[in-house]
Amino acid sequence: MDGVETILGADPEAMVSQLLELGRDLCLRLFEGMAGLRAFDDRAVILQRQGRIGTYPTFYGEEAVQTASVVALEERDWLFPTYRQTAVVTLRGCPPLVPLLMWRGHPGGWHDVMRYRVAPVCVPVATNLPHAVGAAWGARLRSADWVALGYAGDGATSAGDFHEACNLAAVTGSPVIFLVNNNQWAISTPLRRQTRVQRLAEKAAAYGMPGLRVDAFDVFACHRVLRRAAELARSGGGPTLVEAVGYRLGPHGTADEPALYRSPAADRLWAPMEPLGRAQLGLVSAGLADAGELAEIRGRASARLLAAAEELERSPRVTLEEIADTVHLSTPWDLSPDHLREPSWAAAGE
């Protein structure tokens, strides 16, 4: 692919030498991260089918980009997710039960934002990006050396907030990374109807920041590119737009049926790019791991999710009071449980 940085897609010798350069520890850490995300995604889809959680946007195929985005950054760096990155917080040490509870609408699903430095999920697309810029600017003003990363889809690049965020970041020189996951589809809308620019990284030029393209199914290349962007931001070089070029291997979400709008043949052609299998092939051929130990890593991840799903079953019911109590930090009288239960005239002693 044109100008797309890749390691697993390079010729075999180049691939092996680049993987060796990354080293076994980092390679296995990246694989383990992907295994954790895959296990989460598989389990969440099952739970949705069983009616135990709500409509769920699967991220099957995006494990490489998401894992790299966490591992390439430092723990002090901020992440600003959308509906498709609800499990990245587990790569920061949060138990998978927490995002599962979120998908069930349970207060236990509110992960500790300040501890994990993963912002609350934004569903209206691109609305998280200005937040990432503001947070990054906060780092500048407080002379902190953390950076911020905001996730976006290809479709989100059409939204006004995307443009405003990119421009704000560049003009303020904020240490932020815009990670655009170009999976070629926004629900049923293909990229060519979204924009005439087929290389989304080119959009960066209009804002005066670098734009990089990377193979979205290659966790190792994603790591290298994101690391570079983070270093640039950390050293005062300002924002970068990283376009991860891939394909949405799954449906938009559990309520979607892709056969209605795209060719199953294209799906089949892309299917072998599935990032865990591809990474495994690379690691085994480079002699960095054997298939048995990789299978063990995946087995451990699945077992962990099974246990989380069992715990999910035991979580207590939510009450209206819990919800009302979280609307404000200091709850005003009109959200008191008594007031919510009784219409005003009854409370007034009618």
Partner 1 sequence: MSLVSYRDAVRSALRDEMLRDQRVILMGEDITGYGGSYAVTKGLVEEFGPKRVMETPIAEAGIVGFAVGAAMGGLIPVAELMTVNFALLALDQIVNSAAKCHYMFGGQWSVPLVVRTVSGFGQLGPTHSQTFEGWFASVPGLKVVMPATPADARGLLLAAIRDPDPVIFIEHSLLYSTKGELPEGEAADEEVPIGSAKVVRAGTDVTLVAYSRMLLQALQAAEELERSDGVSCEVVDLRTLRPVDYPTVVESVRRTHQLVLCGEDWRTGGFGASLLSELSDRCFDDLDAPIQRVASPDVPMAYSRQLERSLIPTSDEVVEVVRRLN
Ligand X SMILES: Cc1ncc(C[n+]2csc(CCOP(=O)(O)OP(=O)(O)O)c2C)c(N)n1
Residues 184/190, Cβ–Cβ less than 8 Å: yes
Tokens of 83: 């509906």
User: For binding to partner 1 (CB under 8 A), which residues are involved?
Assistant: 54-55, 102, 104-106, 123-126, 155-156, 158-161, 186-189, 193-195, 260-262, 317-320, 323-324, 327, 334-335, 340, 343, 345-346, 350
What CA–CA distance (Å, rounded) separates 312 from 318?
13
Does residue 125 touch ligand X according to CB under 6 A? yes
Instruction: Restricting to residues 109-148, name those near Mg ion by CB under 5 A.
Output: none
The residue among 20 and 123 lying less far from partner 1, judged by its C-beta, is 123
Least separation in angstroms between residue 299's CB and partner 1 is 32
Least separation in angstroms between residue 187's CB and partner 1 is 5
Least separation in angstroms between residue 283's CB and Mg ion is 28
What CA–CA distance (Å, rounded) separates 141 from 175?
11
Under DSSP, the state recorded for 236 is T
Least separation in angstroms between residue 202's CB and partner 1 is 16
Does residue 185 touch ligand X according to CB under 6 A? yes
Residues 178/169, Cβ–Cβ less than 8 Å: yes
**b or e along 113-135 (b: 16 or more beta carbons within 10 Å of the residue's beta carbon)?**
eeebbbbebbeebbbbbbbbbbb
Tokens of 19: 């993987």
What CA–CA distance (Å, rounded) separates 64 from 244?
10
Strands (E), the chain: 78-80, 148-153, 176-182, 185-186, 189-190, 211-215, 240-245
What CA–CA distance (Å, rounded) separates 108 from 306?
18
Does residue 155 touch ligand X according to CB under 6 A? yes
The residue among 61 and 175 lying less far from ligand X, judged by its C-beta, is 61
Least separation in angstroms between residue 192's CB and ligand X is 13
84 binds, among Mg ion, partner 1, ligand X, none (CB under 5 to 8 A by kind): ligand X
Q: Show the binding pattern over residues 226-255: x = contacts ligand X (CB under 6 A), - = does not.
A: ----------------------x---x---
**Cβ burial, residue 262 (10 Å; 0-12/13-18/19+):** middle
Least separation in angstroms between residue 157's CB and ligand X is 7
327 binds, among Mg ion, ligand X, partner 1, none (CB under 5 to 8 A by kind): partner 1
320 binds, among ligand X, partner 1, Mg ion, none (CB under 5 to 8 A by kind): partner 1
For 20, the enclosing helix (H) or strand (E) is helix 12-22
Least separation in angstroms between residue 181's CB and ligand X is 6
Does residue 183 touch Mg ion according to CB under 5 A? yes
Least separation in angstroms between residue 98's CB and ligand X is 22
196 binds, among ligand X, partner 1, Mg ion, none (CB under 5 to 8 A by kind): none
Does residue 48 touch ligand X according to CB under 6 A? no
Residue from 16, 26, 159, 284 that binds ligand X (CB under 6 A)?
A: 159
Does residue 153 touch Mg ion according to CB under 5 A? yes
Among residues 277, 293, 282, 273, which one has the least CA distance to residue 16? Answer: 282
**b or e along 1-31 (b: 16 or more beta carbons within 10 Å of the residue's beta carbon)?**
eeebbbbbbbeeeebbebbeebeeeebbbbb
Interface ranges with Mg ion (CB under 5 A): 153-154, 183, 186
Interface ranges with ligand X (CB under 6 A): 84, 123-125, 153-156, 159, 183, 185-187, 248, 252
